[in-house]
Amino acid sequence: MTRIVAVGAGFGGFHCLRTLQRLLPRNAAELVVVNPKDYHLYTPLLPHVAGGRVHPASVAVSLRTLKRTRFVRGSVVDADLDGKTITVRDPMGRHHEMNWDRLVLAPGAVTRIFDIPGLKEHAHGFKTITEAVYLFDRVLANLDMAASTQDAAEKEALTTFIVVGAGLAGAEYVAQARRLAAAANPHLTTRWILLDMADSVMPQLGGDLPDKALKALRSEGIEVRLGMSVKEVTADSATFTDGTRVPCRLLVWTAGVSASPLMGRLGLPTDRGRLVVNAEMRVPGYTDVFALGDAAAVPDLTGEPGAICGQTAQHAMRQGPALARNIAASLGRGEARPYRHHDLGMVADLGGFKGVASPLHVPLVGLPAKAVASAYHLMSLESLSNQARLASDWFMHALTRPAPTSFGLVTDSHAALTAAEQLGIYPADKPSSGGGADARAKAKQDGQAQHGGAKASSSGSSSAKSKPKAHQATG
C-alpha cells in the first residue's frame, strides 16, 4: 500500500492529514505522521497560556484525533529523497529509517537566533508549550522573589521584563504577561519593555492598525521602543543597541523565525532558508516530495511575481488541505491545483478589552476586535473538546479571576532557547545533496532500515533506563 509520511503535525501537516483521511479510502494509502510530541499546537493562543488565561491542554490538539493516521513519536533528522527514506530520532535518542512513497515536509520553523553575545544562553524563546509554561512560572517566581527582597537594585531587576520582537507573538505576549503580573501582585510595580528594530508593532496588520496597537500597548504602561534591539544579554541585564543597559532577570526573544534546520540538510535550493517548491507545493525534480508551511517557500500567486507566502498559521492551515488534494491527485483521484489564497487579515488580542483586528481587511479596535479574535480562535481550534475547554477557560477566567499558581515543573535547562526547540538534534555535517550521510550511517548502525517502518534499534542509548537524550538540554 502507498505510504504517505508527513514530517510535522503543525498547521500544515495536521490539516493535510485530516483532509487526506477524508479524500482517500482506507485501502488507498497508509497515513503516517512523525512529530516529536503527540499533539498539534495551536500557537496563536500561546500568549494566553503564558498569561495564565488558558490551560496548556486547551491549545494542544491530540494527534490521536487523527483516527486513520499512525503516529510516530520522534523527529526527522535527515531525509534521502532518492532512496525514499527518512531518518527518525526517537525520544530516547535512537535513530531508525522509515520508507515512504509520498513525503510531506511540514516541520515548520524555529526561533531565529542572532549572533548576539549571551542571547543563546540567557534569552528565552516563545514557540512551544514548554516555553509558554516556563514563562508563566518564571514571571510569578520573579515577582515572589522581588516581594521578599530588601535590595532595591535586585527588586528592580526582578520586576523588569524585556521582550524583543513586536510581531504578533511578542506584542500579544507582553500584553498578557503584564496583566498576569498585575493580577499576581498588585502591590508591586513592574516594568515591561517591548523592543523591535522595525518602526512599528505588528506591521502585518496593515493600515493604521499598527499605530492603534502601539497606542493600546503604551496605554497599558508598556514601554515600546522601536528601531532598537539588544546587543548583549547577560544573566542579569540587557544592553540595547543604543547603549542603554537595563538590569533584568527575564528576556523573551521573539524576533523572527527561520525554517527548520531539516530543510538545509536536503541539499536542495532554498529561499531565505525555506525549501523551494512550486505552486502545487511539489519539490522540483521530485514527483513525490512536497513541502508547505513555514518550512517551505510556497509561491504567493496573489502577490507580486516571485513573492512567497508569509510564515503564518493562516497560510499553513490552508496549504494543508490544498496539498492533500494534490497528493490525492498523484494517486489518481482528482486533479492537482496550484495553491492560491488571499490574505484574510490578522487578529491580535491585547488583553482586557483591548485588541486590533483586520477581518477581511476591515479595521477593528477594542472590544469588537477582541470579539472577532476570540471567535476566530475558537472556530479555528481543530477539535470540539479543545474548543469546549478553551471556551470554559475564558469563561471561568472572566468570571472568577483565579489567583495564578505556578508548579515550576519546567526547569531552566528544559526551557533554554536551543533545548526547548531541540535545535541540537540535527547531525552537524553539511550534505552535498539529498541529505546528510552521517545520520543515515548512524541509523544503519543503530538499527536496520525498516521497510515496514518505525522499529527502533536497541543499541546506542536505547536502554530503557538511559536518560532520554531528547529531553537533555542542548544549549
Ligand X SMILES: Cc1cc2nc3c(=O)[nH]c(=O)nc-3n(C[C@H](O)[C@H](O)[C@H](O)COP(=O)(O)OP(=O)(O)OC[C@H]3O[C@@H](n4cnc5c(N)ncnc54)[C@H](O)[C@@H]3O)c2cc1C
The terminus-to-terminus CA distance of the chain in angstroms comes to 41
For residues 71 to 110, the per-residue mask of contacts with ligand X, x marking binding by CB under 6 A and - elsewhere, is: ----xx-----------------------------xxx--
Q: Specify the stretch interacting with ligand X by CB under 6 A; choose among 43-51, 55-63, 234-242, 386-394.
A: 43-51
Q: Specify the stretch interacting with ligand X by CB under 6 A; choose among 10-18, 93-101, 364-372, 440-448.
A: 10-18
Residue 43 binding ligand X, by CB under 6 A: yes
Enter the C-alpha cell of residue 291: 513541502
Residue 355 binding ligand X, by CB under 6 A: no
Enter the C-alpha cell of residue 78: 535527515
Q: What are phi and psi of 26, to 5 degrees?
A: -50, -40
The amino acid at residue 385 is S
Q: Chain-centre distance of CA 101, in angstroms?
A: 27
User: Which own/partner contact pairs does 402-408 have at CB distance under 8 Å and 24+ positions apart?
Assistant: 403/183, 403/184, 404/52, 404/136, 404/140, 404/180, 404/183, 404/184, 405/140, 406/136, 406/137, 406/140, 406/141, 407/137, 408/137, 408/141
Residue 404 binding ligand X, by CB under 6 A: no
Most distant CA pair in the chain, distance: 73
Q: Distances from the Cα of 427 to the Cαs of 95, 117, 142, in angstroms?
A: 11, 24, 37
Residue 16 binding ligand X, by CB under 6 A: no
140: left (phi over 0), alpha (psi -120 to 50) or beta: alpha
For residues 359 to 398, the per-residue mask of contacts with ligand X, x marking binding by CB under 6 A and - elsewhere, is: ----------------------------------------
Residue 265 binding ligand X, by CB under 6 A: no
Q: Least distance to ligand X from the beta carbon of 138, Å?
A: 16
Half-sphere exposure of 285 (CA within 13 A, CB side): 10
Q: Let me know: does 278 contact 286? Beta carbons within 8 Å.
A: no
Nearer to ligand X, 156 or 382 (CB): 382
Nearer to ligand X, 146 or 443 (CB): 443
Nearer to ligand X, 181 or 295 (CB): 295
Among 36, 321, 345, 436, binds ligand X (CB under 6 A): 36
Among 3, 4, 5, 11, binds ligand X (CB under 6 A): 11
By CB under 6 A, the count of residues binding ligand X is 33
Residue of 16, 31, 4 lying closest to 320 (CA atoms) = 16
Nearer to ligand X, 88 or 214 (CB): 88
Contacts (CB under 6 A) with ligand X, residues 108-137: 108, 126-127
Positions in the binding site for ligand X (CB under 6 A):
7-13, 34-37, 43-44, 46, 75-76, 106-108, 126-127, 168-169, 260, 262, 293-295, 311-314, 316
